Amino acid sequence: MTLFVLRRLALAVPMLLGLSIVIFLLLQLAPNDPALYFLPANVRDPSQIERVRQELGLDRPVVVQYFTWLGNMLQGDFGDAYSYGVPATTIIGDRLVPTVQLQAISILFSLVLAVPLGVLAAVKQRTWVDNSVSAGSLFGLSMPNFWFGLLLISLFSLRLDWLPTSGIGEGGWLDRWRFFVMPVLVLGLSTIPWYSRFMRASMVQTLNEDFIRAARARGLSERRVLFRHALKPASMPLLTIVSLSRLLGGTVIVEVIFAWPGLGRLVYDSILRQDYPVVMALTLLVAAFVITLNLAVDVAYSAIDPRITYGAHG
């Protein structure tokens, strides 16, 4: 297991390096000049623009810019955010907590609904219950996040005046829960169909396994067979799907619509402003998070199911 973890971590290094090169080159191809954001709208003097470019280091060759950034990054310095005048990691840290809170509540909300629906559809397969769950999943997959979010704002904020239209609120959870309702519903609509479909497929496959037939042959109740023998192995594929819920997955549009002060809104604003340090730092940190999370899931597999081992070639 130790060799497996070390091998995966070693493979992550060239992956992150290649990703940083691609993102850096894509930012260089953007049509606008970041220096323009440091000057008033009515000031476009070429000498002033060139002065700002020199201060930011944008006048140097692209290769020099990249290796300068890479050298600083290896020392933990991702540069200062153009738009905020503070280190990029500082502004990312400030925006991290709201996004983690939103994602955690959304995933929990999705699992609470998706797992029972998936199990119920598998047990009642080819019945009206199964068809209803499938139809609901199709509806959820077909509804665009931005459209659903605007519908919720129109109904619950503008017409009924029950929920705030945007922001995260202040104070404790009891004071802020209303701000979470609509963003969580939007994110849940996009993940519940996936989770329930995968849970159903996994449960159907598990219920056809020999050890389930043996459990039933021993006279165990159907409830015991489902919850003591089938649910645990059937949930393992869902663990992979949940782990693929990226830190920014699905939240960019939601945070923009609801003016949520998180990483999704930050990456959207930074791309528009061509804030290179923030975009590069966010990309690398999120990629490292996803790689680490996927590795943790693989390790968790072996803990959940002893039959799964990672040998010298795992």
pLDDT digits (tens, 9 = 90+) for 183-224: 999 988 888 888 888 888 888 888 888 888 888 888 878 788
Residues 247/253/259/265 CA torsion (nearest 10 deg): 50
- Does any domain span residue 299? no
Give the C-alpha separation, 262 to 100, whole Å: 8
Identify the CATH number of the domain in which residue 205 sits: 1.10.3720.10
- Does any domain span residue 31? no
- Does any domain span residue 46? no
pLDDT of residue 187: 87
pLDDT of residue 183: 92
Give the C-alpha separation, 229 to 206, whole Å: 9
- Does any domain span residue 25? no
CB-count burial class (<10 Å; 0-12, 13-18, 19+) for 142: exposed
What's the rounded mean pLDDT across residues 286-314?
Answer: 70
**Residue ranges of the alpha helices (H) in the chain?**
2-28, 46-56, 62-74, 88-123, 128-142, 145-152, 173-207, 210-217, 222-224, 231-243, 251-257, 263-272, 276-304
Q: For residue 178, what are the CA distances in angstroms to 157, 163, 169, 280?
A: 11, 6, 9, 33
- Does any domain span residue 57? no
Reported as a pLDDT band with limits 50, 70 and 90, residue 312 is very low
Domain total in the chain: 1
- Does any domain span residue 282? no
What's the rounded mean pLDDT across residues 34-39?
Answer: 75
pLDDT of residue 243: 64
pLDDT of residue 247: 52
Closest CA to 132 of 193, 190, 186: 193
Q: Which domain holds residue 140?
A: 97-264
Under DSSP, the state recorded for 87 is B
Give helix 276-304 / helix 62-74 axis angle, nearest 10°. Answer: 50
Reported as a pLDDT band with limits 50, 70 and 90, residue 246 is low
- Does any domain span residue 311? no
- Does any domain span residue 196? yes
- Range with lowest mean pLDDT among 79-93, 95-109, 246-260: 246-260
Please write down the long-range contacts of 228-231, taking CB distance under 8 Å and 24 or more positions apart. Answer: 230/203, 230/206, 231/119, 231/203
Sequence letter at residue 230: A
Residue in the block written with tokens 């042959």: 217
**Residue ranges of the alpha helices (H) in 126-172?**
128-142, 145-152
